[in-house]
Every structure is written in structure tokens, then in C-alpha cells.
């Protein structure tokens, strides 16, 4: 069956092989007579699923032993509160604001700590990343937060900053919701990273937190126990019932990623996919993308049609051509094509052909 190409920003496309395997295993997982959804989270069957998922993820992302992998709930948005509750001690936290998501994070953190915006790309309309050499970091900040890929504005850090080289000893906190597993991560530059699974790892409902051991155990007294990283880590992500089915599907995605050649292979594919689409946009008269070329996102490509009256016909015809969910986020308008790992190059080729044909016949 040829399914349409799904360019949704999230919940996003999953690999077809994963969906097929889940369908086959739906009624009877590995001879257990149970669906994964019906298993006790403490059963040996489910324990094998979660342990395998953690081991595969550690392997894929080369996560050092000094970091805990936590499977939590609440999504990236809950982490905007959970992170300051765990890491700020009610004291200082510095934020790099590069688009909607980091801006949302700093606003939420204000409920819990003393927030300082160390850099803000707002004046430039979030079309470029403020250079780290210009960041105004406080020497005694508890942590520095950034969003490594701004899903709405389409900006990506192609390299994480080395805070130590900037004279800052605080840990870096990274919202990698829409970037995780698309490329390798330099863990030597990270204290904690978090992301909802529904962009590039699996279904909604699962939140991944990767946190360095020395950052555990400093949660504020009113932090809910279920959100205290120390408690979650000590209970192997089983302090409360974890999102079992979402963990199972994410585990199938991790095995799929291994079969694809791992994260470096995905990175190479993601570069090729993004280059194909940006090149088509840059060489057209109808489409444009305003983001500085040095920090264009490989995962989320926003673009605009020069004539807004063509937006709806573009979306209608794209849908008829089997190209789904291309409408841009309501806060910025235009279009957005998300090119996560599950999007094959053939999908981007089909989109580019469609865009060229649309421009030829309509513009
Ligand atoms: C989608 C997204 C979020 C929000 O995730 P939820 O699961 O809806 O809470 C946060 N940060 C970034 C960068 C995102 O792309």
C-alpha cells in the first residue's frame, strides 16, 4: 500500500515498518497472549521492552553512563516547569530565546525562578541565532536553557555552544523535542536534554529526559515526586505507571533506526533531504524562506508563497497529490514541511516536484 507523505510537525510520521510490526503484535506480543497495552508495567515482558528501549537509545545516541535516561510524561511543555523545579533551586536561570519554543520556556520558568534572557533573536524576527560570543550569561546562573531546533520558526543550532569556553560553568539545558535522533549529540556540552517523543521518536505521551547524574537530587521541595528527576531515576522511570505503549513503539523506532545504520546515517539522509528542499525554495520565484543559511533547520522547513491567495490552492492540490499536513503554524502562517527521520527522500522529491509544477502552472 502506498501511503501519502505526511509532513506534520508532530505528532509526526512514523516508519511504516514500525506501524506494521505493531499491528502484527497488537493482539499477542511475542506469544504472551497480551497486547503491550494490557501488560503490567512490572511484568517481565514489559520490563524487557523498557530495558531494551533504554539500551538501544543509549547506544544510538552514544549517551555516556554519567547520564540517566528517564521516560516521563507531560511533553516538552511540562518540562518547561519540571526543569526549573529540578535545576534552578528557585535561583537564577538564563535563557537563549531563538523562537516560539524557547520563549515559551522562559515564560513558564518565571513561575519558579529568576529568569534572565541572555540573548534574544526577536529583534531579527527569529531569522538568525544570536552568536554565543554575544550572550550575556550570568556567572552564577544555575543553568542555561536553549532550544536546539525551533520547530515553528525553523532555526537549528548546528553545533551546541561550549559554555565553559564562554566562561560559564553552569549546565546547558536543551529542548531537543524536534531535533533528537536526527544527528549525533555532543554530550560533553549538555547537562540535561528533554523532548516529547511525538516529533522524531514515537507517539505522543512519552517524554524523554536525559540528565547528568550530578544534577539529580536538587529539586525544589514543592516539586511533585513524579516529576523529581532523582525519584524517577531511582525508580527506573517506574515511580508512576509509565506510558507503556508509547515506550514500546519508541523502542520499535529505535530498532528501526539501528537497521537504518544509526544516527550518523540518519544525519546524512537528513542533510540530503533538507538541501533538496531549501535549494528548490531558493531557486524559485514563488517560494521563500527567510532564515539565515547558517542556521536553517533540517527538520522543519517553513516557507511562504509570495501570493497568499495561493496558500489554500497549494494545500488542496498538495493533499490531492498525496502530500499531507503542509500548513504552517498558525502563529507564522505560510507552509511548513517537517522532514523527520521517518520521511524518506522520495517524499521530499515528490514535494519538490509538486512545488515546481504548482509554480509553473499557477504563478
Ligand atoms: C513540540 C514541541 C514542544 C512541546 O511539546 P508538547 O509535547 O506539546 O509539550 C516543546 N518544544 C519544542 C521544541 C517542540 O517542538
Binned at pLDDT 50, 70 and 90, residue 363 comes out as low
Q: Which residues does the annotation mark as catalytic?
A: 101, 175, 199
CATH code for the domain of 163: 3.40.640.10
Residues 236 and 268 in one domain: no
Domain final residue, candidates 217, 232, 259? 259
Q: Which residues make Cβ contacts (< 8 Å) with residue 186, sequence separation at least 6?
A: 159, 160
Task: Please state, as a whole number, how many other Cβ atoms lie within 10 Å of the Cβ of residue 130.
Answer: 18
Residues 250 and 272 in one domain: no
Q: Kindly give the distance from the C-alpha atom of residue 107 to the centroid of ligand 1, in angstroms, as a whole number.
A: 14
CATH code for the domain of 339: 3.90.1150.10
Q: Which residues make Cβ contacts (< 8 Å) with residue 294, sequence separation at least 6?
A: 128, 129, 158
Q: Which residues make Cβ contacts (< 8 Å) with residue 213, sequence separation at least 6?
A: 66, 67, 68
pLDDT score of 362 more than 90: no
Q: Mind listing the pLDDT tens digit for each residue in 184-213?
A: 999 999 999 999 999 999 999 999 999 999
Residue 8 placed within a domain: no
What total number of domains does the chain contain? Answer: 2
- Residue to probe by mutation, ligand 1, list 97, 151, 157, most atoms within 8 Å of CB: 151
What is the pTM for the complete model shown?
Answer: 0.98
pLDDT score recorded for residue 338: 98
Could you tell me if 270 and 345 are in contact, meaning their C-beta atoms sit under 8 angstroms apart? no
- Tell me which residue range forms the domain holding 21: 17-259
Residues 188 and 279 in one domain: no
What three-state secondary structure class fits 175? strand
Question: Is any atom of ligand 1 closer than 6 Å to the C-beta of 300?
Answer: no
Task: Please state, as a whole number, how many other Cβ atoms lie within 10 Å of the Cβ of residue 54.
Answer: 20
Q: Which helix (H) or strand (E) holds 90?
A: none
pLDDT score recorded for residue 2: 85
Residue with cell 497549494: 314
Residues 41 and 140 in one domain: yes
Residues in the chain: 363
**For residues 86-113, average pLDDT:** 98
Q: Kindly give the distance from the C-alpha atom of residue 363 to the centroid of ligand 1, in angstroms, as a whole number.
A: 35
**For residues 321-336, average pLDDT:** 97
Average pLDDT, the chain: 97
What three-state secondary structure class fits 327? strand
Q: Which helix (H) or strand (E) holds 222?
A: none
Residues 232 and 280 in one domain: no
Could you tell me if 45 and 39 are in contact, meaning their C-beta atoms sit under 8 angstroms apart? yes
Amino acid at each position: 500500500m502506498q501511503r501519502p507523505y505526511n509532513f506534520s510537525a508532530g505528532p509526526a510520521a512514523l516508519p511504516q515498518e514500525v506501524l506494521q510490526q505493531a499491528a502484527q503484535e497488537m493482539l499477542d506480543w511475542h506469544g504472551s497472549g497480551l497486547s503491550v497495552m494490557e501488560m503490567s508495567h512490572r511484568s517481565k515482558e514489559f520490563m524487557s521492552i523498557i530495558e531494551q528501549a533504554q539500551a538501544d537509545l543509549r547506544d544510538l545516541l552514544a549517551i555516556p553512563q554519567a547520564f540517566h535516561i528517564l521516560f516521563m510524561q507531560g511533553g516538552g511543555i511540562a518540562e518547561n516547569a519540571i526543569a526549573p523545579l529540578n535545576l534552578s533551586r528557585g535561583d537564577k536561570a538564563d535563557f537563549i530565546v531563538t523562537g516560539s519554543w524557547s520563549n515559551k520556556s522562559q515564560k513558564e520558568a518565571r513561575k519558579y525562578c529568576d529568569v534572565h534572557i541572555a540573548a534574544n533573536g526577536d529583534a531579527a524576527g527569529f531569522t538568525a541565532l544570536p552568536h554565543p560570543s554575544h550572550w550575556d550569561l550570568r556567572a552564577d546562573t544555575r543553568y542555561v536553557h536553549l532550544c536546539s531546533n525551533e520547530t515553528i520558526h525553523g532555526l537549528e543550532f548546528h553545533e551546541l555552544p561550549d559554555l565553559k569556553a564562554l566562561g560559564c560553568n553552569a549546565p546547558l539545558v536543551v529542548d531537543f523535542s524536534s531535533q533528537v535522533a536526527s544527528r549525533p549529540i555532543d554530550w560533553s556540552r549538555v547537562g540535561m536534554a528533554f523532548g516529547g517523543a511525538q516529533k522524531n521518536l514515537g507517539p505522543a505521551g512519552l517524554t524523554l529526559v536525559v540528565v547528568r547524574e550530578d544534577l539529580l537530587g536538587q529539586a525544589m521541595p514543592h516539586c511533585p515526586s513524579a516529576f523529581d528527576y532523582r525519584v524517577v531515576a531511582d525508580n527506573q522511570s517506574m515511580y508512576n505507571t509509565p506510558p507503556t505503549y508509547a515506550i514500546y513503539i519508541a523502542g520499535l523506532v529505535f530498532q528501526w533506526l539501528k537497521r537504518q545504520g544509526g544516527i550518523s546515517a540518519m544525519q546524512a539522509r537528513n542533510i540530503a533531504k533538507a538541501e533538496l528542499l531549501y535549494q528548490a525554495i531558493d531557486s524559485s520565484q514563488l517560494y521563500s524562506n527567510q532564515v539565515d543559511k547558517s542556521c536553517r533547520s533540517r527538520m522543519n522547513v517553513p516557507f511562504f508563497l509570495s501570493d497568499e491567495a495561493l496558500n489554500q490552492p497549494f494545500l488542496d492540490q498538495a493533499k490531492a497529490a498525496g502530500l499531507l499536513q503542509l500548513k504552517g503554524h498558525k502563529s507564522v502562517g505560510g507552509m511548513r514541511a517537517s522532514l523527520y527521520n521517518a520521511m524518506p527522500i522520495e517524499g521530499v522529491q515528490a514535494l519538490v516536484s509538486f512545488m515546481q509544477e504548482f509554480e509553473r502552472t499557477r504563478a
